[in-house]
């Protein structure tokens, strides 16, 4: 079978073959002598002719490259250093200390260098204390007329370098000059590394290897200005155990830092903190860390990091507490009894025992202390305290966690009659029933002066006036669920069917009972029991009759809210005063509620 090729295909094929031959033609011309050389000198004369030929060609290529490199460096002079730029002093720097830094520029040539200009790029944390006479502190440059052959120029600075320990700061030096021989402008750049290897302050941390719960122990920080310069400020940042109670401290801990100011050269001192642990951590040990920072303006540079571990042991007096009333919460004015259980597992008789119940604001008690002369080994018993929630307690002042109690006992062991110990019960949270409020108002204007209502104000007989009513709900300290808001329109007040609802169900109006209702599954607690809070709005209208003249009319009555306290399960219900045409919360419409 013959395949016929179209004229177009034939043309395309010919063009491709022609192009390929044109491209390959130079390669053939290059390889043709090599091919002839191979057949003349290698082919048929050696057992592995091709391998030997390839190896020889590789050797020839390497020798050619080496020759080309030698010729390049023989005929083309490489870049040379005209200057040697160095730092005469040791480049290991003590942080924050004022150092003498002398930069030396040495002319390496046999010709003088003229129009010398030296520019320094110092790190931002480098503070210049003194500089050479011709140094411009704004541009960080220095000029010299002439640097003779083999001459060295010394540029002395004094300065302090700030930074973190083991950090490397770089000083970049740009030198520009003219070589006397050809008068071309040359530039040379050098980088000087400053190794911040020594901290500005020496710090040590001392803590006991073993700490007993409730027993005082010391945390001691020793410090010393390790430099020959004044240090303006050192900041020490301790990480203290979570359940540490501080008894005394000879340095103020502010925002997590001990601040030491204006330390003179080699000045030393000590910070001593006395405290005790309220409980034993689950790990059985604590870690105390201390970081030291050198301040330079607003920057703080880390100098040292220390960590100490201590084993924590129990003191043997076990304590727990719980309320013994039927409910797990309190309402304003209600009382409950807190029962403290103790068990002496110390193996010793305990002396001068004092039970303490520190009450937070809002809780009161007939007594907050109870004493015992002694507790014998293995003794188990209880101590009771009666507490009451204040009648006027403001639930907005707390969170849904409730009020926290941490009963504790102070005591002495028989074999150490002068050493005070303490045992703490786990924190007891007394939940507080939520207080809900329905805030209802009628408005004609917003607080910003925008008009909400329509019609005459004060209202007039025979004319329709429309008002906007807002309902807001606050609840504290807990969230509430199954929330229902209710109200009723008196006879003569019209429902316009205009509403504004951002969440929950739509507002419902019952034309028979004239009741208004709104429901929502859940409302979150409102901090401070104040708005901003959840709410709805709707419009009502009145058309006063002649007998209404001179009266303030009621727009909405029988206002109430029903809900369930999510934290306590308590059923909550509150009412709110009637809303009238006397718009007491509308500053622009206040006093304009009497029908004309």
pLDDT tens digits, residue range 30-83?
666 766 776 666 766 666 677 777 777 788 888 888 887 777 656 654 446 899
Q: Residue 213 pLDDT > 50, yes or no?
A: yes
- List the strands of the sheet with 299-313, edge to edge: 210-212, 299-313, 285-296, 231-239, 257-263, 253-254
What H or E segment, with its residue span, contains residue 72?
A: helix 49-75
Residues 223 and 277 in one domain: yes
- Tokens representing 38? 């191979």
Which residue shows structure tokens 């008002």? 467
| Average pLDDT score over the chain | 89
pLDDT at 395: 81
pLDDT at 158: 95
Residues 57 and 170 in one domain: no
What is the percent of the chain with per-residue pLDDT over 90, rounded to a whole number? 70
Helix (H, G, I), strand (E, B) or coil at 384: strand
Residues 161 and 215 in one domain: no
pLDDT at 38: 66
CA pair distance 316, 59, nearest whole angstrom: 88
Report the range out of 8-12, 62-66, 341-345, 501-505 with the highest average pLDDT.
341-345
Residues 299 and 425 in one domain: no
CATH label of the domain that carries residue 104: 2.60.40.10
pLDDT at 24: 53
CATH label of the domain that carries residue 439: 2.60.40.1170
Dihedral sign, Cα of residue 588, residue 508, residue 436, residue 479: negative
pLDDT (mean) for 543-547: 95
Q: Report yes or no: 471 and 485 within 8 Å, Cβ to Cβ.
A: yes
Q: Report yes or no: 231 and 303 within 8 Å, Cβ to Cβ.
A: no
pLDDT (mean) for 155-171: 94
| pTM, two decimal places | 0.69
Q: Report yes or no: 97 and 229 within 8 Å, Cβ to Cβ.
A: yes
- Better-scored residue on pLDDT, 215 or 397: 215
Residues 322 and 411 in one domain: yes
pLDDT at 346: 95
Residues 424 and 445 in one domain: no
396: which residues sit within 8 A by CB, 6+ positions away?
Answer: 435, 474, 476, 477, 526, 527, 528, 529, 530
Domain boundary among 167, 198, 229: 198
Q: Residue 10 pLDDT > 70, yes or no?
A: no
How would you label 157-167 residue by residue, b for 16+ Cβ within 10 Å and e otherwise? bebbbbbebeb
**Per-residue pLDDT tens for 281-290?**
999 999 999 9
Q: Residue 210 pLDDT > 70, yes or no?
A: yes
pLDDT at 54: 78
Give a yes or no: residue 5 inside a domain: no
CA pair distance 474, 530, nearest whole angstrom: 6
Range of weakest confidence among 298-312, 321-335, 348-362: 321-335
pLDDT at 340: 95
279: which residues sit within 8 A by CB, 6+ positions away?
Answer: 213, 243, 424, 426
Residues 407 and 494 in one domain: no
* Per-residue confidence band for 236, with pLDDT thresholds at 50, 70 and 90: very high
CA pair distance 516, 498, nearest whole angstrom: 13
Residues 530 and 564 in one domain: yes
Residues 357 and 411 in one domain: yes
Give the Cα-Cα-Cα angle 6, 12, 13 (nearest 5 degrees): 90
Give the Cα-Cα-Cα angle 125, 229, 170 (nearest 5 degrees): 25
Residues 440 and 571 in one domain: yes
**Per-residue pLDDT tens for 345-385?**
999 999 999 999 988 888 888 788 999 999 999 999 999 99
CA pair distance 133, 376, nearest whole angstrom: 84
Which residue shows structure tokens 């004044």? 230
Helix (H, G, I), strand (E, B) or coil at 506: coil
């Amino acid at each position: 079978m013959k395949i016929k090729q179209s004229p177009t295909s034939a043309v395309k094929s010919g063009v491709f073959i022609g192009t390929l031959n044109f491209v390959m033609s130079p390669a053939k011309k290059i390889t043709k002598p090599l091919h002839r050389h191979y057949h003349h000198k290698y082919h048929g004369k050696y057992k592995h002719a091709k391998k030997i030929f390839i190896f020889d060609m590789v050797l020839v290529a390497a020798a050619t490259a080496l020759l080309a490199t030698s010729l390049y460096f023989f005929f083309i002079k490489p870049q040379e250093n005209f200057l040697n730029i160095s730092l005469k002093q040791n480049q290991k720097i003590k942080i924050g200390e004022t150092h003498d830094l002398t930069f030396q520029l040495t002319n390496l040539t046999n010709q003088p260098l003229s129009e010398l200009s030296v520019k320094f790029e110092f790190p931002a944390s480098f503070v210049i204390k003194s500089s050479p006479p011709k140094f411009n502190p704004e541009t960080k440059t220095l000029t010299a007329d002439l640097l003779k052959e083999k001459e060295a120029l010394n540029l002395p600075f004094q300065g302090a370098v700030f930074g973190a320990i083991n950090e490397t700061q770089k000083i970049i030096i740009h030198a520009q000059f003219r070589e006397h021989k050809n008068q071309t402008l040359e530039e040379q750049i050098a980088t000087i590394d400053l190794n911040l290897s020594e901290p500005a302050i020496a710090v040590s941390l001392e803590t006991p290897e073993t700490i007993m719960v409730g027993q005082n122990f010391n945390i001691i920080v020793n410090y010393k200005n390790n430099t020959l310069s004044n240090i303006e400020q050192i900041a020490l940042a301790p990480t203290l155990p979570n359940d540490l109670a501080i008894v005394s401290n000879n340095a103020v801990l502010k925002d997590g830092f001990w601040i030491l100011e204006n330390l003179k050269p080699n000045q030393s001192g000590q910070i001593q903190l006395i405290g005790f642990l309220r409980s034993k951590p689950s790990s059985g040990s604590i870690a105390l860390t201390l970081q030291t920072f050198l301040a330079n303006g607003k920057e703080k540079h880390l100098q040292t990091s220390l960590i100490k571990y201590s084993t924590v042991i129990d003191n043997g007096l076990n304590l727990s507490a719980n309320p013994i009333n039927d409910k797990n919460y309190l309402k304003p004015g209600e009382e409950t009894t807190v029962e403290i259980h103790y068990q002496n597992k110390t193996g010793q008789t305990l002396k001068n025992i004092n039970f303490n119940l520190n009450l937070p604001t809002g809780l009161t008690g007939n007594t907050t202390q109870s004493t015992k002369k002694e507790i014998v080994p293995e003794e188990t018993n209880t101590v009771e305290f009666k507490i009451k929630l204040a009648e006027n307690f403001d639930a907005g002042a707390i969170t849904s966690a409730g009020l926290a109690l941490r009963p504790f006992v102070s005591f002495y062991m028989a074999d150490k009659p002068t050493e005070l110990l303490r045992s703490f019960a786990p924190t007891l949270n007394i939940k507080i029933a939520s207080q809900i409020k329905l805030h209802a108002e009628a408005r004609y204007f917003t607080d910003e002066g925008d008009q909400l209502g329509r019609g005459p104000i004060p209202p007039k007989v025979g004319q329709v006036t429309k008002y906007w009513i807002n309902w807001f709900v606050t609840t504290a300290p807990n969230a509430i669920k199954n929330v229902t808001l209710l109200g009723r329109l008196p006879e003569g007040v019209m429902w316009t069917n205009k509403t504004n609802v951002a969440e929950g169900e739509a507002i419902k109006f019952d034309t028979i009972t004239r009741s208004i209702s709104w429901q929502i599954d859940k409302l979150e607690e409102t901090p401070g029991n104040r708005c901003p809070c959840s709410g709805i709005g709707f419009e009502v209208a009145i058309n006063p009759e002649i007998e209404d003249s001179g009266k303030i009319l009621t727009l909405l009555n029988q206002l109430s809210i029903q809900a369930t306290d999510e934290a306590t399960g308590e059923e909550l219900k509150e009412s709110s005063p009637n809303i009238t045409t006397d718009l007491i919360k509308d500053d622009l419409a206040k006093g304009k509620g009497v029908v004309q």
